[in-house]
Amino acid sequence: MPLADLKNMTLEEIEAFVAELGKEKFRARQIMKWIYQQGASSFEAMTNLSKEFRADMEKRARIGNLEIVRTQSSEDTTKKILFRLEDGLLIESVLIPGASHWTLCLSTQAGCKMGCAFCFTAKSGFTRNLRPSEIVDQIVQAKFRTEEGPGINNLVLMGMGEPLDNYDNVLKAIAIISSDYGLALTARRITLSTCGLAPAIERLGQDSAVNLAVSLNAPDDTRRNELMPINRKYPIEAIIKACRTYPMPKRRRITFEYILIAGVNDSPADAKLLVRTFGNLRCKFNLILFNEYPGSPFKAPTAKAVEAFQKVLVDHRITAVVRQSRGKDILAACGQLSGRHREEEAGD
């Protein structure tokens, strides 16, 4: 029987585990602090626990660790980390620089099944969901094995995969991340991005308080059907309905991510349609220029087109920010992740 990975366990589950070994609940808090706040990768390192207890745990459990295969650096200082999972699959995370901190972009699946036309990850297809340990350990490894790690204070679940398609594992990972004895990052520092699984958005609003970002990318169902096949199941009207149920504190808004693609969704008329559809919703728009990748069928719009699009939204009192993509030169920007080691080596 395989040993249980403690990184797959919440505080309550570790408490139950130590209780089976005849130990007090507070030992679970000590164990979590060792793993998530001091980066312990073995029981031997947990020096405030008795040798006997550590030996008992060695027989019953383990502390899984992702392997960092490679770290690439962009001209803009963005870092992309390639991880190998225990079964040999590869995933990627991205360290994004801020003014005084770093944001870590996490993957939640190996590949993705959503099939968005503009996304490089989708080209690889879907292999499997990541376990809670594999989601959480991307943070642990980045925090304790990279120079930038101590400065990480924001997380975005925007890497490979659709987070809400791996709902239970993602929610469990968030519980571990936000635990005072885990990584101790509050919900307001965690943003989850979804392509629009409407029922799961409503469920998430009941189960968590993380920030919500919805990848929209088209002003109407016709074009969104073409760009994002999930829209045929959950059209824009269903997404808006789900977003209205999502509980947000007064100063926070739902974010709509809108990838601007030349000649597809970037005209002032498209912006006006967004105003009519979303004008009454408490939201903001992040405008992202399409990030090209090898073989991509689309192009980024001109600066003039982006400015005209943004102006329509701003003139109608909708917050619209043009987001500068980071790490494009190492395929680390939005929609460019793939987890392909050999192709990256060939491109160096």
Burial class (CB in 10 A: 0-12, 13-18, 19+), 322: middle
Alpha-carbon torsion 125, 131, 136, 141, what sign?
negative
Query: 334 catalytic, yes or no?
Result: yes
Contact predicate 121/172, CB 8 Å = no
Cα–Cα distance measured from residue 162 to residue 214, given in angstroms and rounded to the nearest whole number: 11
Place of tokens 């225990």: 86
User: Which residue out of 92, 134, 162, 257 is catalytically annotated?
Assistant: 92
Alpha-carbon torsion 137, 138, 142, 143, what sign?
negative
User: Which residue out of 112, 243, 334, 344 is catalytically annotated?
Assistant: 334
Report CA-CA distances (Å) from 110 to 9, 18, 130, 310, 337.
21, 32, 7, 34, 11
Query: 75 catalytic, yes or no?
Result: no
Cα–Cα distance measured from residue 327 to residue 76, given in angstroms and rounded to the nearest whole number: 7
Looking at the annotation, which residues are catalytic? 92, 334
